[in-house]
Structure 1
């Protein structure tokens, strides 16, 4: 039995797949503890995992909701910069507090979210094996692939490579304070300096929620990089949810269902909900809109067409019933829809969402309406096109089949156990 620590952002989109993975490892008789800020204690414990609080000074109770509210009102580059500053603050806290917390708990291996840059350095300091988990869109950089925060299409031509290099330069500039913070701490701890961004990720195994067919073609990933599909619970239920809120399934009419959600972070853009409701009129469908946060109290529920609006919804159960999902192109919602063979209309807002949306468009599983071009006629046209053209549904079903064969959480746990027990890289072609 191994005692695993989970280190990841406190956002539900990262917590849910990590907790699914943690529960699978617990089922195999391992011990799993998630280390994070106090605000998520009850959610993690309710999911069935152990929890250790850190960062209580910088992130006292209530601070997470305030950050959610700030980010929920942002879009584009400002939202991206806010997220980067948040990661920098979290990185400083983890470098200071995590080593002692891990030692005190007797942790033997780490599962580190790819967007948590402190994890690899702490693991090296304590001489612990660690596995990188890509819960969001993978952020590995290479010239042939558009940067994750852009909506750029994949183009295997020289000018696209140049464009990608310029975009990656922007990422380098924005992430420089974080990388400098890690570099200074490594120097204090007498650890060798990192020579590339890849040094932040595991030399044993890197596990990604995407199926390979959904990503752009890549040439520079390490041999121990694994596309395994969504980290989903077999029940279809999310381990980190608001269990006290019940969904009124009795209000579903049996009409064709359109499910709309902007996730749990970008959910303060009221005008987008207004546009969605109006654009859905005239489709002979019932509209369900999830606000993604039970703490939202100040939203006017009087929307065009009287859609069923709820503070929070059981994602997968609604998606299973849907003919179409309208989303901000968050990773978990996108993968949930594709896992069910449901096409999408994406309205990306910030962070990696434009990159996910560009992959939705490239695979033909949906349409994309950029936020800067969002209006009722344009969104209405996209909705009607996806509902009318069978190719979108067929492409979503094709990706559903790919996901069903990717391995999911069972394959991820197999890889982790092999990597930790042998101390050797687990190559992607080893089954």
Structure 2
């Protein structure tokens, strides 16, 4: 059996992917230790894993109100600070814990350097939208759709170059660490991901056509699970027979009161029932006068509500999107920041929903879009198609199979190499 370390960000979306994967490996007899910031401690321990705190858990509450380019620049600053903390603290913690193999959150760009420095094999796990750079594919931080024409590919290349320049403070910290540890420098962005295996909990059917993925890249499908999620009370008795619209803006950009109000007003005159999950950013009392008398809760049992939903209005966080499609629920995506932009573009491209830009959103536009997605059968048909793809993808068990096979082969090769040197 193997002692796996999970190196991941402490946000809800990351834990909702990494913890179920850890649970499946633990069920097979392996040991699990999670390395993340203190936000992840409670959920990690509740899931039955060991936990080691890495870096600071302090989060500016105003960050939940920030969107667009401002969110990008703020995110780069936060990532640089987190990466520096992780590079300083994680190697020692990993060695002290006796970790034999690492599962690295794809968003933890420093993870490969850390694994190399402590000479531990690692596998990359995409807990958000896959970040593998390919000039045929628009960057994940845009809402651009896929188009193979050469000038769109040139646009993509220029955008990747710009993002590389903007994020140079992050990559410089990693480059300095690799130099300090006498490790070869990264020559491309993709070098920071595992050469053994990269696992994405997407399904290929909701990804743009990619021709340049390495052979060790695997689409496994999502890891839907209640593991690591707190049980929350919900007034199920208040649900009626009207079509249910479930609203979630996630847990990181969830203090935009005006957006919740706009959504409620857009749905107030429709023959539907609206359920709004605030994601912990606001208290229900702070939005108590919303039009149409929707059910508003601080947290919601999302997996259960999506089984009843006819439509999901979402910030386009990948977990919420995949959980919706797992239940064949079409979507209206209003991306706020980060890879939500790219996820929303893929929703529209797949035919399972519509993308609306926050910058020019109004009540009339949202109401018309909600009616369109509810009433036109093509959206549901595509959602059912993607549901079928998810159900046949293998999910967390397939991902664990890949991990076990790769790490077993790596251990055997290391033993063989050692034997040859003796």
Check whether TM > 0.5: yes
Asked if residue 156 in structure 1 is aligned to residue 143 in structure 2, the reply is no
Shift of 1:199: 1.3
Alpha-carbon shift at residue 166 of structure 1 (Å): 1.6
- Partner Cα distance (2:11, 2:75) in 1: 11
Match in the other structure for 1:189 = 181
- Paired position in structure 1 for 2:403: 416
Task: Name the residue aligned to 2:42.
Answer: 42
Give RMSD over aligned pairs: 1.5
Task: Tell me if 1:242 matches 2:234.
Answer: no
* Paired residue secondary structure (2:92): helix
Equivalent position of 1:400 in the other structure: 387
The aligned residue for residue 134 of structure 1 is 126
8 Å CA contact 1:137–1:352 kept in 2: the answer is: yes
Q: For 1:177, what is the secondary structure of its paired residue?
A: helix
- 1:266 paired with 2:253, answer yes
CA contact (8 A) 1:12 1:240 kept: no
> What TM-score, normalized by structure 1, do the two folds share?
0.93
- Are 2:279 and 1:292 equivalent residues in the alignment? yes
Correspondences of 1:168-183 after superposition (within 5 Å): 168-183=160-175
Q: Any residues of structure 2 matched to 1:223-242 within 5 Å, and which? A: 223-233=215-225, 237=226, 239-242=227-230
The equivalences for 1:321-360 within 5 A come to 321-360=308-347
Contact 1:360 1:366 in 2 (8 A): yes
2:354 counterpart (367, 371, 376): 367
Deviation string, structure 1 residues 202-226 (Cα, Å, up to 9, x no partner): 0110000110011001122110000
Q: Secondary structure of 1:221's partner?
A: coil
Change (3 A) 1:183 1:294: closer
CA shift digits 1:70-129 (9 cap, x unpaired): 221101111122222211111101111111101111111000011101110111111111
Number of the residue aligned with 2:262: 275
Deviant stretches of 4+, over 6 Å: none
| C-alpha contact (below 8 Å) 1:330/1:353 kept by paired residues | yes
Question: Would the aligned equivalents of 1:343 and 1:396 in 2 still touch at CA under 8 Å?
Answer: yes
1:104 to 96, 105, 114: 96
Q: Could you tell me how far 1:47 is from its partner in structure 2? A: 2.1
- Structure 1 CA distance for aligned equivalents of residues 13 and 312 of structure 2: 17
Measure the CA separation in 2 of the matches of 1:263 and 1:355. 16
Q: CA deviation at 1:294?
A: 6.8
In the alignment, structure 1 residue 3 sits paired with structure 2 residue 14: no
Q: Aligned equivalents of 1:116 and 1:397: distance in 2?
A: 33
2:299 aligned with 1:312: yes
TM-fit CA distance, 1:283: 2.0
Deviation string for 1:223-249 (max 9, x for gaps)?
A: 00001111122xxx2x23333x31111
Conservation of the 8 A alpha-carbon contact between 2:255 and 2:282: no
In structure 2, the CA distance between the partners of 1:294 and 1:147, relative to structure 1 (3 Å rule), is: closer
What do residues 7-42 of structure 1 show as CA deviations (whole Å, max 9, x unaligned)?
111110001110000000000000001112223211
CA distance in 1, matches of 2:248, 2:301: 11
Query: Aligned pair 1:26/2:26, yes or no?
Result: yes
Which ranges of structure 1 fall in alignment gaps of 5 or more residues? 425-431
Give secondary structure in 2 for the equivalent of 1:280.
helix
| Range moving further from structure 2, 250-259 or 295-304 | 295-304
Matched, 1:257 2:244: yes
